[in-house]
Amino acid sequence: MKKALSENTDVVDIHHAGTAMRFLTSYYSIQNGKITILTGSKRMKERPIKNLVTALKSLGVEIEYMENEGFPPLKIKGRKITQPKVDVPANISSQFITSLLLIAGKLENGLEINLVGEVTSRSYIEMTLNILTRFGIKNSFIGNTIKVEPFINHQSSIINYEVESDWSSVSYFYSFAALGRKTIHLKSFYKESTQGDSAIAKIYEKFFGIKTIFSDADHTITLKPDSGFILPEKIVLDMNNCPDIAQTLCVTAAALKIPFEISGLGTLRVKETDRLLALHNELKKLGTETEFTDLSIKSISFNEPEDNISIKTYQDHRMAMAFAPFCLIEELEIEDEDVVEKSYPKFWEDLQIILTENS
C-alpha cells in the first residue's frame, strides 16, 4: 500500500494484499484522467471484487476487468466523481465499504452509501468513520445509511495520529497465554478501542480465563491467566463482528479439546484462502474433526494429533499465526512461514521472545 501510494506508476502489483487491492481500487478511481492497471498474485486474481467495482461504476468510474469478470486485474480510468449516492450490499466485506468511505471526503458532493440488507462487520465501518472524524471529515451512520460530507481544508496543518496496535495480531498471544498459562505484556492498546477485534479480550476472559489488565498511562496491556479458571463445557459464539480472530479461537479450543460452534463467518470463504475449508483441513491434523457451512464451523470430535504435524498456510498469514501457539501442546511445522510478512513481519521474532521469557 505504502509503495503504491508513493510511486507514480501505471502498473501496480499488490501481490497477496487484499486490503491494498480494495482500498487502491477506489483511490485510483478518483485520480482524474490517470489510467492504472491494478494487479496481484495468482490467488489475488481469484478473490472477488465485483461489488466494489459495480459501486464505483455506478458513480461513473470506468473500470475494466482484464482477465475474468468480477476479479482482478483491473484497468481503472480515474475521473472526477460528482454522483452523490450509491447502493451497496450490506453483507459484503466491510473493506469494500471502507474503500468507498476513504475517498468520500474528496468527492465534490461527498457520498451517501445505502447499505442494502443486514450489515456485516458494522464495527469495522464504525472504526473507519471514527478515523475520518479524527481528521475533520464529518459523517453519520444512521440505520443503514452512511453519509460523508465533502472535506474542505481551509488551512494546511499537520495532524498527529497515533496508530493503535492491531487487535487481530495480538489474538495469537492471547492463545499463547491460554495454552501456556503465563502472563504476557504488550504495548499500544486502548481500553476503549474502536477495533472490532478488540472483542478478543472479553472472549478470552469468558472462555479461557485470560484477564486483560489495561494501563492508561502508557497504553500497555497485561494478559494474565486466572489460575482458578474452569474451562467451559462448550463454546458457542457469533463472530460476525470479529471474523478475523475466529481461526485463533478455533485452534485454542482445539488445543484444549473444548467443543466449539462458531457462526457469523460468511466473509472467511473469500479471504486470502477459503479459511473455513483451510481450518477444517488443518484442525484435523491436530486431532480435531469439524464440519462447516458457508457461515459457520463446529467441532465434531477430538482425537490424538498426527505424528510430525505440518500445517499448510494456503498463502494466508493468519493460518500461520493462528496455528503457531499449538507448539505449546505438540511440536509442529508451519509451511511457508514467510507468509506472515504480509501483516506481521516480526511475528516469529516476537514468538521467540514469548517462548524464551515464559520457558
Positions annotated as catalytic residues are 244
Distance CA 56, CA 110 (A): 14
CA distance 46 to 61: 23
- Count the Cβ atoms, other than its own, within 10 Å of residue 168: 21
Please give the Cα distance from 184 to 291 (Å, whole number). 33
CA angle centred on 51, ends 46 and 54, rounded to 5°? 115
Q: At what angle do helices 167-180 and 200-208 cross, to 10 degrees?
A: 10
Phi, psi of 4 (to 5 degrees): -65, -40
Q: 261, exposed or middle or buried, with CB in 10 Å at 0-12, 13-18, 19+?
A: middle
Determine if residue 330 is left, alpha or beta; phi over 0 gives left, psi from -120 to 50 gives alpha, anything else beta. Answer: beta
Do 9 and 19 form a contact (C-beta atoms < 8 A)? no
Residue 304: CB atoms within 10 Å: 8
Q: CA–CA separation, 198 vs 211, rounded Å?
A: 13
Q: Is the sign of the CA dihedral 263, 276, 288, 208 positive or negative?
A: negative
